[in-house]
Amino acid sequence: MLSLESQIKTAADNAQNRFGKDIITDRYEFRGDITLTVARQAVADVVRWLRDSAGFDMLVNLSSVDNMGESPRFEVNYTLTQSETGANLSLKTKVDDGEEVPSVTEIFQSANWHEREAWDLMGIKFSGHPDLRRILMWEGYPYFPLRKDFPVQGVPTELPGVAFTEAAPTQGAPFATEQGRCPSACREPRSHKF
């Protein structure tokens, strides 16, 4: 029986052989973990093949990264797992502002909320998603709060009672605490009454 690391390498090799360099454009290995960079338009095909042919039957994570100043600006990261062995394989795809990534919700239902969160907080759209609407911010909110160009203090809003109408009282960072020797409860800005 192959070791866990050998199973992951074999799956990555098979995926690269199956899809070629036009689809799987890069491979990064670090301490036994492998990340494959996948062309944006083929990400759903690769995810489906890894589920059906390589036994990666669980999507454990889908997240996004804002690489402001680079082009393409965003990355969408996927972590797939073989539930029986615990083997993990990571995929990433690069996407520019305004481009869409194919949804993987038909392959893994767990992607539904992950993709909605990436849309809501980063502005990354997923084509073919069955219900791509905001999950944390309200409909009509014009910003994407996890982008690096979003002000740390937040933005003034015209909806009093829904969010801060002035800059958040956090001394320049979300959830920043005040320095001092008091217990953490008194340093936590959310515990203060305004």
4-138: CATH architecture: 2-Layer Sandwich (3.30)
- Between the alpha carbon of residue 181 and those of residues 91, 173, 177, 178, 184, the distances in Å are 44, 20, 12, 10, 9
Closest C-alpha to 91, from 123, 127, 51, 151 = 51
Residue span(s) of the chain under CATH 3.30.460.80 come to 4-138
Closest C-alpha to 144, from 160, 122, 164 = 122
Closest C-alpha to 129, from 101, 97, 168 = 101
Element (H, E) at 170: none
Side by side, which strands form the sheet with 33-38? 24-30, 33-38, 88-95, 74-81, 58-66
What digits encode the pLDDT tens for the residues 110-145? 999 999 999 999 999 999 999 999 999 888 888 899
Average pLDDT for the chain? 86
Would the pTM of this model clear 0.85, i.e. be above it? no
pLDDT at 164 over 60: no
Mean pLDDT over 169-189 rounds to: 53
Mean pLDDT over 68-73 rounds to: 94
Within 10 angstroms of residue 193's Cβ, the number of other Cβ atoms is: 3
The reported pLDDT for the residue numbered 171 is: 47
